[in-house]
Amino acid sequence: MERLIYPLSALALLFSVSCSEDTPEPPLADYNISNYYSGGEGTIFLQSSHAFSQPIGGLSKQEEDVHTDGDALFDAIFVTAGNKVNSGIGPLYNNNSCNACHPNDGRAIFPKDLNTTTGFFLRISSGNDPIMGPIDAKGFGGQLQQMAVPGLKPEVKFRVQYSPRVETFADGTKVVLQKPTYSVYDPYIPLPASYELSPRLAMPVIGLGLLEYIPESEILSYADPSDKNGDEISGRPNYVWNAEHKRTELGRFGWKANTSTVREQTAGAMANDMGLSNPIFPVEPCRNQSNGDDGKYNGIEISPSQLDAVEFYCQTLGVPARRNIKDNGVRRGEYLFTELGCALCHIPTMKTGSGKIKALSNQTIHAYTDMLLHDMGDGLADNRSDFLATGNEWKTRPLWGIGLTVTVNNHENYLHDGRAKTLEEAILWHGGEARTAKDKYKALSKTDRNNLIKFLRSL
């Protein structure tokens, strides 16, 4: 409606411009300098492959030391139990360091060979309990480890197969997407009669403390579970069991908002991804399994102070500043991001509350997420429930830093399993509640499609 109420003189100008240049000037997003600072006052201005690896500005000297200790552990390659340092990998595991899966604190590439150490794994379950979460598949736990220490058999091998899916733009351009289907073979014991799998690829770990400091009330204010405002977007919080606090909490991390704190996500990664017993998960993931439970190293492989340091490290990785925000293509893309409805889920601006870490407190951040679950349609579904998340639901991914993916990680594998090989493919996989936004994208001219992508690259 706004566009219809230009004063006459402006209209005359518009028409004179449109005569000479044949299209009127497209609307641009307001140029707003504060948008540069994606991660608040502690935003990072480095734009190199280490752009994700900097501590947020504003840490005290003592906090920086803890960050540095955590950094060393994040990079440390763990070896088999009995060695002097960094020992205790496995007996079953997916990879041997945090950094191997989150390279340069960024995202993993989808592997060519799924059955070696990579940033990809499959979760498994036999049903789901809304309070306690996914139910272990008998003999396999909740996550499948495709690696084992020498002499032991990994739980399974992973396999992926593809089928093409064509998307056609209004201007006739076609894009062929590849839909992956995952399965497992060569199990160490027979698999249960029925089970669900969920593919997960490692995502960047920047700005997590800021996301943790967003007040619950702010996140819940975006939830609209029964779509009362009729914009086709619902947005539901996940509520998940926190094993340390022994209570249900708002889910914030993981592709389905399936953990509530950076600390629990970190301890879970140590135990399940690497086989490192730790203060929160004192038993290795092969407990009660015939392939590997020696019971010997339970509870001692990661000390409380080591867990604290890695937690603090992940909480305090800063977020890179935006780039090229004055560029007209970027500003046009930013306008379209709102116009198409992307910003209904990828909420551009939120404020953090206050907590122990000063640098994370009371910051205006531009994470581009509502931290909520959305039905993304059958195309993206894993058909595996995860606490309150259904098989169709995923958490809106933060988009901050996404424009530096190639710089930091030298690939573009987006979405929860890396199936999208360009930002455009990531948009084209959107369905369900995001179907209208996707369809509006497909109706854009090539120039405007490029402008939207330019905007994403500026994040």
**Interface residue with Ca ion, options 210, 219, 233, 336 (CB under 5 A):** 233
Question: Vertex 335, ends 331 and 337: CA angle to 5°?
Answer: 110
Stretch that binds ligand HEC, among 40-48, 153-161, 258-266, 324-332 (CB under 6 A): 258-266
Q: Looking at beta carbons only, is 417 or 433 nearer to Ca ion? A: 433
For the CB of residue 408, give the shortest distance to Ca ion in the complex, in Å. 30
For the CB of residue 6, give the shortest distance to ligand HEC in the complex, in Å. 27
Query: Which of Ca ion, ligand HEC, none lies near 384, with the C-beta cut-off 5 to 8 A by kind?
Result: none
- Rounded to an integer, what distance in angstroms lies between the CA atom of residue 145 and that of residue 95? 9
Residues 126, 135: contact at Cβ < 8 Å?
yes
Residues numbered 151 to 210 that lie near ligand HEC (CB under 6 A) are: 200-203, 205, 208
Cis peptide before 91 (omega within 30 of 0): yes
Q: Looking at beta carbons only, is 232 or 249 nearer to Ca ion? A: 232
The verdict on 388 binding ligand HEC (CB under 6 A) reads no
Q: How many CB atoms lie under 10 A from the CB of residue 11?
A: 13
Q: Element (H or E) spanning 246, and its range?
A: none
- Rounded to an integer, what distance in angstroms lies between the CA atom of residue 451 and that of residue 238? 33
Place of tokens 């449109």: 18
The verdict on 374 binding ligand HEC (CB under 6 A) reads yes
Residues numbered 416 to 455 that lie near ligand HEC (CB under 6 A) are: 416, 423, 426-427, 430, 433-434, 437, 441, 452
Total of residues contacting Ca ion (CB under 5 A): 13
C-alpha 4: how far from chain center: 40
Residues numbered 341 to 400 that lie near Ca ion (CB under 5 A) are: none
Stretch that binds ligand HEC, among 48-56, 168-176, 212-220, 248-256 (CB under 6 A): 248-256
C-alpha 134: how far from chain center: 20
**Interface residue with ligand HEC, options 222, 255, 297, 387 (CB under 6 A):** 255
- Rounded to an integer, what distance in angstroms lies between the CA atom of residue 88 and that of residue 79? 6
Q: Looking at beta carbons only, is 188 or 313 nearer to Ca ion? A: 188
Nearest to 393 by CA among 236, 268, 226: 236
Q: 158 in helix, strand or coil?
A: strand
The verdict on 319 binding ligand HEC (CB under 6 A) reads no
Q: How many CB atoms lie under 10 A from the CB of residue 5?
A: 8
The verdict on 432 binding Ca ion (CB under 5 A) reads no
Bridge partner residues of 185 (DSSP)? 157
The verdict on 226 binding Ca ion (CB under 5 A) reads no
The verdict on 102 binding ligand HEC (CB under 6 A) reads yes
For the CB of residue 233, give the shortest distance to Ca ion in the complex, in Å. 4
**Interface residue with Ca ion, options 69, 75, 136, 224 (CB under 5 A):** 224
The residues, any chain, with a CB within 8 Å of residue 117's CB and separated by 6 or more, are 94, 95, 96, 100, 147
Stretch that binds ligand HEC, among 9-17, 184-192, 239-247, 396-404 (CB under 6 A): 396-404
Q: Looking at beta carbons only, is 280 or 402 nearer to ligand HEC? A: 402
Roughly how many angstroms between the first and final C-alpha of the chain, as a whole number? 29
**Residue 379, CA atoms < 13 Å, CB-side half-sphere:** 24
Q: Looking at beta carbons only, is 43 or 259 nearer to ligand HEC? A: 259
The verdict on 88 binding Ca ion (CB under 5 A) reads yes
Residue 38, token pair as written in the block:
């994606």
- Rounded to an integer, what distance in angstroms lies between the CA atom of residue 189 and that of residue 18? 71
Query: Which of Ca ion, ligand HEC, none lies near 110, with the C-beta cut-off 5 to 8 A by kind?
Result: none
For the CB of residue 311, give the shortest distance to ligand HEC in the complex, in Å. 8
Total of residues contacting ligand HEC (CB under 6 A): 56
- Rounded to an integer, what distance in angstroms lies between the CA atom of residue 126 and that of residue 400? 35
For the CB of residue 2, give the shortest distance to ligand HEC in the complex, in Å. 21
> Which one-letter amino acid corresponds to residue 437?
A
Residues numbered 219 to 238 that lie near ligand HEC (CB under 6 A) are: 233
Binding mask 141-160 for Ca ion (x = CB under 5 A): x---x---------------
The verdict on 94 binding ligand HEC (CB under 6 A) reads yes
- Rounded to an integer, what distance in angstroms lies between the CA atom of residue 361 and that of residue 352? 6
Query: Which of Ca ion, ligand HEC, none lies near 202, with the C-beta cut-off 5 to 8 A by kind?
Result: ligand HEC
The residues, any chain, with a CB within 8 Å of residue 32's CB and separated by 6 or more, are none
Provide long-range contacts, Cβ within 8 A and 24+ apart, for 115-120: 115/146, 115/154, 115/157, 115/158, 116/147, 117/147, 118/94, 119/95, 119/201, 119/202, 120/158, 120/199, 120/200, 120/201, 120/202, 120/417, 120/418
Binding site for Ca ion (CB under 5 A): 88, 140-141, 145, 224, 227, 229, 231, 233, 275, 284-285, 297
Binding site for ligand HEC (CB under 6 A): 74, 94-95, 98, 101-102, 119, 121, 200-203, 205, 208, 233, 253-255, 258, 262, 265-266, 269-270, 273-274, 310, 314, 340-342, 344-346, 374, 376, 380, 394-397, 399, 402, 414-416, 423, 426-427, 430, 433-434, 437, 441, 452, 456
